[in-house]
Amino acid sequence: MKTIDYYNQYADQFLQVTLYVDMESLYQPFLAELPDSARILDLGCGSGRDTLAFKNKGYQVDAIDYSEVLVERASQLTGIAVQQQSFYELDMHDVYDGVWA
């Protein structure tokens, strides 16, 4: 089974296991390096947990994931238009202050 097929098939189980993990201790060193109004790319955003956390802290966040099902779930959770694409397809015309992956 390809990785993408796994995430599409087990997206809801993945969300249940990962959505409420406390990531604050990992966010702090990352965010400490960014300006207050930073633009962050959440690369491989999965459930959208981290995207939502950054958004709630006042950052501008763009999010992408390759799994169509996770993109749908993350969009619902975060209220932003999560993009479905591979990191191989990134168009780097956009400039980010930080990339979270």
Q: Model confidence at 7, in pLDDT bands (50, 70, 90)?
A: confident
Q: Where are the domains of the chain?
A: 3-99
Nearest Cα neighbor of 94 from 54, 30, 39, 33 is 39
Report yes or no: 41 and 99 within 8 Å, Cβ to Cβ: yes
Return the CATH superfamily for domain 3-99: Vaccinia Virus protein VP39 (3.40.50.150)
Strands lying side by side in the sheet with 83-84: 83-84, 60-65, 39-43, 98-100
The pTM of this model reads: 0.89
Tokens 């799994």 belong to 67
Question: What pLDDT does residue 22 have?
Answer: 96
Q: Model confidence at 1, in pLDDT bands (50, 70, 90)?
A: confident
Report yes or no: 54 and 24 within 8 Å, Cβ to Cβ: no
